[in-house]
Amino acid sequence: MSHTAGQAYLNTRVSVMSIRLFSPELRVSLSQLSLPALAERFGLSALLDEQPSIAARSRAIEQSLIQVLLTELQVLAHPMSPAERALLLAWGRQYALFNLKALIRGKLYALDQEAIRANLFELPGSIRLPLPELLRAENVLELLRQLENGPYHQIARQAREVYERQREPFALEAAIDQRYYTEIVRRAMGFHHQHLDSLRRLIGAELDRVALLWLLRFRFSYRLSPSETYYQLVPSMRRLTRERLLHLVNLDTFEQVIAALPPRLRTLLAECQTISEVQQRIGHHTRREARGVLARSQSAVARALAYLMLRESDLMRLFAVVQGRLLQFPEQAIEAALDLTEPSGNPVNTTRR
C-alpha cells in the first residue's frame, strides 16, 4: 500500500471508528443509567455475572474496557508505518506501566503472586510485559533488571538507577512516568511537518495538562522544592515549555502559578481555587483539543491518536459510572467523580506515600 493510500485508509478507519465516541448528550446522561441499562447498552455482560464480589465485577469491567481500547489501538496500528505504529504503542504502554507499578508495589510490600496478579491487566502481545518471569522475581531490583532485557529497557534502567539510589516508591514511579511521556515526545518529534503540527497540538495539550497537574501537586501538595519539581516534569512543546516551567516552579503559591500561566490557560483556569478544579477544566480543554485534531487534522496518525485519547476518556467515564453504581453511590457523587475522571492507567495517578 502506498503512503497516500495508507493515509486515506487510516483516515477512513478513524472516521468510521469515531462514531463510537460518546455524544455530548450521552456523556451527560451516562450517570443516570442503571446497571442493567449500562450492561445492555455497552455489552458489559460481566456487570450481571454472579461474581463473588463487587471488586471482582468492577475489575472484570475495567479489564474488558481496556481490552476494547487496546483492541482498537491494534486495529488502527495495523496499517500504519513502523514510526506511526511505534508512537501509538508508546502511548498504549501506559497500561503496561500500570502493570509494572502494580508489580513493583507488590514486590515492595512482599505480596504473594496471586495477590499481585489480581491487580494486573491482560494486555495484547505488542505492549505486554513478560509477567510470568517478572512475577517470579524475588525483589524490585531483580524485577527491573529482568525488564532491562527487552523493549522496556530504557524505562527499566532509569527506574532501577533511581531505586538503587533512593529506595523510595514515589521517586521510582515518578521516574517511570517521566520516561513514559519523554518517549512519546521523542517519537512524536521524529515526524515531519505534515504530521508534526497536529501531533504538537495534540500531545502538547496532553503534556500541558500533565505538567501543570504534576507541578501543582508536587509543589503544593507534596511540598517538593522547585528544582526537584522541575526535574520530574516533562516540558510541553506547546504552552508549558521548558522556560515557562522553569519560571512557574519558582513561584510560591497556587494563585501565583495560575496567574503566571500563558494567556490561554490563564483565562481557562482563572477562577480555579483547587487542584481538582484545575484538573476538571484542563481535562475538558485537552479533550476539546483532541476533538479538534480528530475533526480537522490532515494527519492520519494524529487523528488516530486523538481518537484513542477520546475513546479512553469515554471508556474511563463509563467505568466511573459502573463503579459508582456497583458501590451504590448517589448520583451526585458519581457526577462529581466523572468530572475528575482520568484514565486508570494514566501515570498522573502516581501518588506519594
Task: Decide whether 228 or 339 has the Cβ nearer to another protein.
Answer: 228
- Residue 203 contacts residue 293 (beta carbons within 8 Å): no
Q: How far is the CB of 160 from another protein (least distance, A)?
A: 9
Integer-rounded Cα radius of gyration of the chain: 20
Q: How far is the CB of 135 from another protein (least distance, A)?
A: 9
- Residue 1 contacts residue 79 (beta carbons within 8 Å): yes
Q: How far is the CB of 244 from another protein (least distance, A)?
A: 11
Q: How far apart are CA 217 and CA 165, in angstroms?
A: 23
Q: Is 328 left (phi over 0), alpha (psi -120 to 50) or beta?
A: left
Q: How far is the CB of 317 from another protein (least distance, A)?
A: 33
Task: Decide whether 133 or 331 has the Cβ nearer to another protein.
Answer: 133
Task: Decide whether 227 or 256 has the Cβ nearer to another protein.
Answer: 227
Q: How far is the CB of 183 from another protein (least distance, A)?
A: 10
Task: Decide whether 17 or 108 has the Cβ nearer to another protein.
Answer: 108
- Residue 308 contacts residue 73 (beta carbons within 8 Å): yes
- Which residue, chain included where needed, has cell 463487587? 54
Residues in the chain: 353
83-98 burial string, b = 16+ CB within 10 Å, else e?
ebbbbbbbbbbbbbbb
Q: How far is the CB of 279 from another protein (least distance, A)?
A: 24
Q: Is 223 left (phi over 0), alpha (psi -120 to 50) or beta?
A: left
Q: Which three cell numbers stand for residue 103?
A: 508489580
Q: Is the dihedral of CA 175, 104, 276, 289 positive or negative?
A: positive
Q: How far is the CB of 225 from another protein (least distance, A)?
A: 4
Task: Decide whether 47 or 185 has the Cβ nearer to another protein.
Answer: 185
User: DSSP of 139-151, one letter per residue?
Assistant: SHHHHHHHHTSST
Interface positions with another protein (CB under 8 A): 113-114, 132-133, 136, 138, 142, 154, 158, 161-162, 165-166, 171, 174-175, 182, 225-228, 230-233, 242, 245-246, 249-250
Task: Decide whether 126 or 158 has the Cβ nearer to another protein.
Answer: 158
Task: Decide whether 113 or 194 has the Cβ nearer to another protein.
Answer: 113
Q: How far apart are CA 284 and CA 24, in angstroms?
A: 12
Task: Decide whether 165 or 193 has the Cβ nearer to another protein.
Answer: 165
Q: Which residues contact 19 (CB under 8 A, 6 or more apart)?
A: none
Q: How far is the CB of 136 from another protein (least distance, A)?
A: 4
- Residue 283 contacts residue 342 (beta carbons within 8 Å): yes
- Residue 202 contacts residue 237 (beta carbons within 8 Å): no
